[in-house]
Each structure stands twice: as structure tokens, then as C-alpha cells.
Amino acid sequence: MKVGIYTLGCKVNTYESEYVADVLENSGYTLSEFDDICDIYIINTCTVTNQSDSKSRKIIHQAIRRNPNACIVAMGCFVEANKEIVIDGVDILIGNQNKSKIVSLIQEYFKTHQPIRHLACELGTEFEDMEIKNFKERTRAFVKIQDGCENFCTYCIIPYVRGKCRSKQRETVIREIMDLVVHGYQEIVLTGIHIGNYGVDLGDSFYQLLQDILRIPGLKRLRISSIEVTELTDPVLSLLEENDIICDHLHIPLQAGSDSILKAMNRKYDLDYFRHKLENIRKIRPNISISTDIIVGFPGEDEEMFQQTLDHAREFAFTKIHVFPYSIRKGTPASQFPNQVDGMVKKKRSHLLMELSNELEEKYMKRFLGQKVLVLIEQNKSGFSFGHTSNYLYVKIKGEYPTNSMVEVCLTDVNYPCCIGLVTNDKMLLKV
């Protein structure tokens, strides 16, 4: 049977979809493009914003229309947030638990042809192990080390749909990464819903996990996905200082550049704390790329507060800003806050912040002109190679070099959103 999988949302969803694809393929199913006529469609949904909900519904309905006779599986955060949901044509509903049982659930459906709703009343307290065994030709591998969040930011639905913090056993993480390195992966990306809180349920810590990962022979790059500023502790920063295997890029969500908004959001820091932490990081890694998330139009945000956000984003010299217009999430405290911001105002502020993001990103890219950098080749297209540096510069190189190879290039120009690189090692063989 042919299976098409569509993934929305975060890197955790990406990892979970990879796992689902892996176990299905190992069970004899044939993976196909989602746009093809398939026997089974799986949509791994997202609910972080209203737009995410709308897109989840849209993709589900597209699959139903493409092949009304197919088995349609909807799983993930959108399903978990809408337990009462009924969509005509969806055969299997799975929340954020028991995704690892996808094969048995599909088999059950084809035996009975009865709809299946596999939604837990309460998300479990144990980590649902997913370990990818089928290694395909790729350059970067995601490893999910943790699930759940207990921060309860007032705007966020994720703690309600992902549950309590749950961590993968450290030895399991190490084994998974060792297997990936043996199979040729050059870069490992640690991912989770709240990765800096890794181990809170196991009597372990993110620092101790990092220590063990960095001892793995042959590991070339370790990239840390989004991490809270409060979890970049002195021990974690000491590893950043001592070990250049950790990539020269951190994604640290700010969410707002106003202390009063941060307090209303129930964030665990103020601007002075954030500023001081960035200063410490840049003393250790002067050229590090620091990207961020910012929400615009949070309830009560006036023009002065938004200007503070613009000013602090510039001061903090982020290399990229992921901009999110505030989206009311039913069941969160902020959905009941007064002084909700008009949609057109949010749109205007988002545009201004994205303009600033582009300006800051291009400025950062130009800092490296004339410098030699290592690029991990990820794609070849039309006579060019494309890849990323450790500090996440996206580089375009003339000539098709082998994917999954590290190539030294000199950055000669910026053609946003790419840096242009010239290979410095003439002995590197071009792809035939």
C-alpha cells in the first residue's frame, strides 16, 4: 500500500513523521509523495496558531478529496487540542500519544473499516520512545530527546496538547546518535518541546546529556534547537566555550521587548536578564548567530511597547527574527485578557519587525565576506551546491559538490538570502 505523509509545525513533528515513515516502510508499506494517489494519507498536524489550525484542516480535506477511498489519518497537536473534532472522511484520529502504534492502528482499521479515535484523556508521564532505524541519504538528522512543557506561558496551547515534560533515557539518546554518526550523518540536531528542561523527570540534566553526546567519536556538528534563555546555564555555556562541535548558532525565544508584556506572558526572565545572558554568550562565541521568536500584538501591547520591541531587537542584534502575530488560543489565560489588539495593527507591526529581521540578517551575513568557512553540502541544483555553515549561513556555491561533504569556501558576496561562496580546495571532486 502507498502512504503519503504531510507534516506541519515544528521540528518535533518532523522527527515524529520521520519515525512514522520509517516504521511503515519497515512493515512493507511504500512511501510516496503526498500529492500522489495513495492508499493511506497521514497528516501530522499543528495547533500553535489559528493559521496552523486552518492549514491542518485544509491539508486533511485535500487528502480526502484526492482519494475518497483512502484511509485518512490525522494526528498531533491540532487533534489533541480539538478532542471533540469530527471531520467526515477522517478514519483514524491520534493525539500526541501512541503515534508509535501507527502500524497496528492502520492494520486494525483495514480489518474492521471502523473509525478509530485514539485520544488519551490525559497525556502520559512517560516518554514515548521513537528511534529511527532506517537511514536514508541525508546530511542532517533530528533526534527528539524530550516532549512536553510545563512553562504555561499565557498565550501558549502547547502544554495542554503535549503534556508534562518527559525525557528519553540518556543511554537511548547516545545510542541513537552513535548509530546516526556511523551511518554518515555529519550534523545532529537535538529537538524537543522544551529541550533545556531535559531530564527533569529522570533526575538527569541537559548539561549531563550534552557532556556525553560530545564524547561520541566521529560527531562533526551538534546543533541545539530552540532553547530558553534561562536554561543556558553556566555549565551549558562552559561546554559552548570548550567545544566547537556545538554549532555556532542558538535560537533563543525573546517573545517581547517589553518587560510588562513579558510579565503578562508569564515568561521567566526580564530584559536585563536576557541582555546579560547574550553578553555572556558573545564573550564566549563572538561570531555566534542568535535567532529568536517574537510575538506581536499580544493583548495590551501599545505603540510604545511595540517600539520597545523594535529597539531591543536591534540592540540584541539578532541574526533572524521569526515573527508571530498573536493568535488567540482557546483555553489559554491570554485568550481572556482585555485590550486585544486589532488584526490590521498586528499585520502592520509584523511587517515592520520582518523588515528589521531582513536588515539584521543581511548585516550579519556581510560580516563574513572574505572569510573562509566550512559548508555542509545539502543540495545540488542547476549547477550549484547549497548548504549551511555552523553559524547557519546559507551558502550558494558554483559547481555540484557531493552532498553530505564538508567544503571549505571563501564568502565573496551576499545575494540575500544566500551568501555566495568560492571553493578554496581545488582538489575537491565535482559531482559527475
Residue type at 48 in one-letter notation:
V
Q: How many helices and strands (H and E) does the chain possess?
A: 12, 19
Q: What is the pLDDT, as a whole number, of residue 131?
A: 81
Phi and psi for 26 in degrees, rounded to 5? -65, -20
pTM for this prediction: 0.93
For residue 120, the model assigns a pLDDT of 62
Query: Mean pLDDT per segment of 10 residues, for the chain of length 432 residues?
Result: 96 93 95 97 96 95 96 95 85 91 96 86 70 71 94 95 94 96 93 95 97 97 96 97 97 98 98 98 98 98 98 98 96 96 97 98 98 95 96 96 93 96 71 44
> Which residues fall within 8 angstroms of residue 398, CB to CB, at 6 or more apart?
383, 384, 385, 422
Residue 353, all three cell numbers: 519587525
Residue 193 CA to residue 148 CA, distance in Å, equals 6
Q: At what angle do helices 11-26 and 102-112 cross, to 10 degrees?
A: 60
Q: Give the phi and the psi of residue 407 in degrees, each rounded to 5.
A: -120, 130
CA distance 157 to 146: 17
* Element (DSSP H or E) covering residue 205: none
pLDDT at 118: 78
- Residue pair 137/186 in contact by the 8 Å Cβ criterion: no
**pLDDT score for 432:** 37
Q: What is the rounded distance in angstroms from the CA atom of residue 373 to the CA atom of residue 387?
A: 11
Contact, 90 vs 11, CB < 8 A?
A: no
Please name the residues in contact with 121: beta carbons below 8 A apart, sequence gap of 6 or more: none
What is the spatial order of strands in the sheet that 249-251 belongs to?
Answer: 249-251, 289-296, 320-325
